[in-house]
Structure 1
């Protein structure tokens, strides 16, 4: 009797493999010093070992590739950031910020490409800002908790403080990664962390 078990389609798996090849090829070119804005679809496809038509079966354009890179980049950073709750103490926040800066340093080429594109592409900018909002929302939860427990100033405004220290901290971190000397990474990370700690998590009342 013939088997009624159907062979599972390899379509989704094959698609995921091709997606990954194109993304990895893009990251490889960026790591080699190429600027994202100067990379054409033909170059990305050739580096990935696929045809131009295959590229367009998987991505609408090269910006969609960058959006996938944004997803991966920010997801990894969020995993690190989410461990930096006030419960770990000032030195714990410093340690996590050092790891966060190191994470971006190792992916400097990706960060540079993202910031280059979000400066002019509205879709990429909206996605990027939406990703950073996750960090702001979590920071606000932490600050409200510290405020309710009486550990930070009652006149602190959690939504504003969260937005300021996430955006401000990220700008300082990105500046260090992109143009600062690696030898100063830990110093910069420590200053960012302690400004967060003393300026928000443990702000004196009435300051």
Structure 2
């Protein structure tokens, strides 16, 4: 039979998840008005989210804690959108890369204010920076595994350094999407997805006599 403590813990986690979604939406609205995350006070965020300052501190130590909680959720979503080519590596299909990049860009668009806040705060908050880099490194590690599998089965050149290539591709995609999403409308997203897909595909699979 479940314990009272266990039931209370589950209810608290559910309530915290609800608070996170309210605060994420509030953050998006306020940053959409031109405010930076650093400029936003806990009082302003809580008020916009329809909760009291006391309620905020019931679930989060501070704004940094809130950011770390939210970015973990968003990166889980980003990872999920990338599984088309991570999980279908044997097909070597350019269309799979395009689908994944389209999903990646759409996820960034959806959470643009959060990603902007994390990039901003990571420059001065070591905990946010560590959390952000840790999540990026997990994507990099998965990409490295993808490349190593391709080398084993012969579709990826044996001379391609897996770790360094994974790092370059991961950070290239993250920086490019973040910067482009800030200055272009969604009308440009398909062109960007196609560009990134070709870069990934040609990096991993193209041979001197076989480029697309």
Matched, 1:43 2:47: no
How many residues matched? Answer: 199
Larger Rg: 1
Match 2:105 to one of 73, 93, 101 = 101
Match 2:181 to one of 177, 181, 184 = 177
Change (3 A) 1:97 1:42: same
1:123 Cα offset (Å): 0.9
Please report the TM-score for the alignment, with normalisation by the length of structure 1.
Answer: 0.84
1:65 Cα offset (Å): 0.9
User: For residue 165 of structure 1, what is the aligned residue in structure 2?
Assistant: 169
Change (3 A) 1:22 1:136: same
Q: Tell me the alpha carbon deviations over residues 174-203 of structure 1, each in whole angstroms, 9 at most, x when there is no partner.
A: 111112343221111111111111112445
User: For residue 90 of structure 2, what is the aligned residue in structure 1?
Assistant: 87
Q: Tell me the alpha carbon deviations over residues 7-43 of structure 1, each in whole angstroms, 9 at most, x when there is no partner.
A: x659625555445544443344334543211110111
Matched, 1:52 2:36: no
Change (3 A) 1:27 1:183: closer
Q: Given that residues 78 and 135 in structure 1 are in contact (C-alpha distance below 8 angstroms), is that contact kept between their aligned partners in structure 2?
A: yes
Q: Given that residues 20 and 70 in structure 2 are in contact (C-alpha distance below 8 angstroms), is that contact kept between their aligned partners in structure 1?
A: no
1:129 Cα offset (Å): 0.6
Unaligned 5+ segments in structure 2 are none
Q: Given that residues 45 and 55 in structure 1 are in contact (C-alpha distance below 8 angstroms), is that contact kept between their aligned partners in structure 2?
A: yes
CA RMSD of aligned residues (A): 2.4
Unaligned 5+ segments in structure 1 are 1-5
